[in-house]
Structure 1
Amino acid sequence: MTNPVFVALDLPRLEDAKGLATRVKSHVGGFKLGLEFFCAHGHHGVHEIAHVGLPIFLDLKFHDIPNTVAGAMQSIHVLEPAIVTVHASGGRAMMEDAKAAASEHCKVVGVTMLTSLDERDLARTGVAGSAHDQVMRLAELAETAGLDGIVCSGHEVAAVRKQWKSGFFVVPGIRMKDNSVGDQKRVVTPRAARDDGASVLVVGRPVTRAEDPVLAARAIEATL
């Protein structure tokens, strides 16, 4: 894709989300719709954003038994998403079934470690070792399961790219140097993530909460 920036449209009002999408569409490559958006607006909301004319990334982070995840994946065929997420920690069988059930042109990527977590958070869930080690383990598992790629922070994407040369890598937690990090703990700039091998850059609040979202989107685009 020519523009790797996907704007996260997790807004409570569909009219606001569609209006923002229409305003910034010339400066981004697609739109990410997550749990907040999907729970509020469902299939209808996804169709409305799709009418804007850019690819849709459904960030639903499926994580359940393999049969349930496969059924969920089949249920969203009608939405024709370009990208869908599952949790890599769901295991190999779950990821295999998710990929097998996905539509032909949909990339299925495994979420490795949320960018809101750090190593202390990992330890509290019983996972030993560094964030880097955890991401690398789950990336290897996702590749073995036949997924198209993973979601990881910009801190790990260079190492994962070196290990998985043909992978498709989604990097959230994107911030410009003067942006607030909010609840994110492992953030990088758009240029740094792209240089390290990111395929897609997910940008939310730096655009959606900017005084001028179009200007913010253009500023990110200009760094690439």
Structure 2
Amino acid sequence: MLSEDRARESVIIALDCARDEAISLADSLSGRACWVKVGMTLFYAEGPSIVSEMHRRGLKVFLDLKLHDIPFQVRGAARSASLAGADILSIHGMGSAEMVAQARAGVEEAAGHRAGQRTRLVAISVLTSMSQESLEEIGVTLPLEEEVARLAALSVGAGSDGIVCSPREASDMRCRLGEAALIVTPGVRPAGSELGDQRRVSTPASAIAAGASMLVLGRPITRAQDPAGAFEGIVRELVEG
């Protein structure tokens, strides 16, 4: 059970769409929601200006670029993303401890140009669209939960502020990483919603109860006939527990 303010801060709305639709959604949610997610589809089409558009509407931005490259490139990319206004930025935990450390160095550098406001980093563990079979296809033989735990420990130990994991791993991650860790969970669906391409899912209230800090929801809000009403329904669910 959360306060209403905390519930609103807990929901990140995924704007996985074109600019005009994203702006329309942002306008309808401004004053209600606190966070939006700008992913690759939107950012690659519009560039840093889309982050500024969201900020002008009073919305903070989770820039979900899933950075994964050599450490030198990731340091520069993380710095640039931070200077573009990212409030939270995603990187891939599988990129190595050195890559995560360089991403942290990049956002630390940018903080000096942002009045000391540092972009927080979250490392992708195992994508919520993946199953045990998907992992085995790419040569990962550890049980899925163990792979999530391994990447989480590596990433947070190297400087990430937290991780991205499915709601099913949130409780274990909270126990392992402690109360200060930022645990962001996609794969959240209100009861009765279609699963889409997600595999490891949970309801919003269950994900928060399990230890998630923030929830990423896309289609249940953005494809609803009344996106603002759908968002308010999720806030009520979190408040009422």
Normalising by the residue count of structure 1, what TM-score does the alignment of the two structures yield?
0.96
Aligned to 1:180: 194
SS of the equivalent of 1:72 reads: helix
Aligned to 2:123: 110
The answer to whether the Cα contact below 8 Å between 1:65 and 1:94 also exists between their aligned partners in 2 is yes
Aligned to 2:101: 96
Paired residues for 1:1-224 under 5 Å: 2=6, 3-12=9-18, 14-102=19-107, 103-104=110-111, 105-165=118-178, 166-224=180-238
Structure 1 residue runs without a partner (length 5+): none
Tell me the amino acid that sits aligned with residue 89 of structure 2.
V
Identity of aligned residues (%): 38
Tell me the amino acid that sits aligned with residue 207 of structure 1.
I
The answer to whether the Cα contact below 8 Å between 2:170 and 2:210 also exists between their aligned partners in 1 is yes
Tell me the amino acid that sits aligned with residue 127 of structure 1.
V
Cα distance in structure 1, aligned partners of 2:184 and 2:86: 15
The answer to whether the Cα contact below 8 Å between 2:31 and 2:58 also exists between their aligned partners in 1 is no
SS of the equivalent of 2:48 reads: helix
The answer to whether the Cα contact below 8 Å between 1:113 and 1:135 also exists between their aligned partners in 2 is yes
Which range is displaced more, 189-198 or 59-68?
189-198
Tell me the amino acid that sits aligned with residue 73 of structure 1.
A
CA offsets, 1:97-144, max 9 Å, x none? 001111432111100010000000001110012211110000110121
Q: After TM superposition, give the deviation of residue 212 of structure 1 in Å.
A: 1.2
Cα distance in structure 2, aligned partners of 1:84 and 1:35: 12
Tell me the amino acid that sits aligned with residue 219 of structure 2.
R
Cα distance in structure 2, aligned partners of 1:78 and 1:98: 13
Cα distance in structure 1, aligned partners of 2:204 and 2:30: 18
Q: After TM superposition, give the deviation of residue 78 of structure 1 in Å.
A: 2.5
SS of the equivalent of 1:15 reads: helix
Cα distance in structure 2, aligned partners of 1:194 and 1:153: 12
Q: After TM superposition, give the deviation of residue 24 of structure 1 in Å.
A: 1.7
The answer to whether the Cα contact below 8 Å between 1:4 and 1:28 also exists between their aligned partners in 2 is no
SS of the equivalent of 1:117 reads: coil
Cα distance in structure 2, aligned partners of 1:93 and 1:140: 13
Cα distance in structure 2, aligned partners of 1:80 and 1:113: 26
Q: After TM superposition, give the deviation of residue 86 of structure 1 in Å.
A: 0.3
Count of aligned pairs: 223
Aligned to 2:115: none
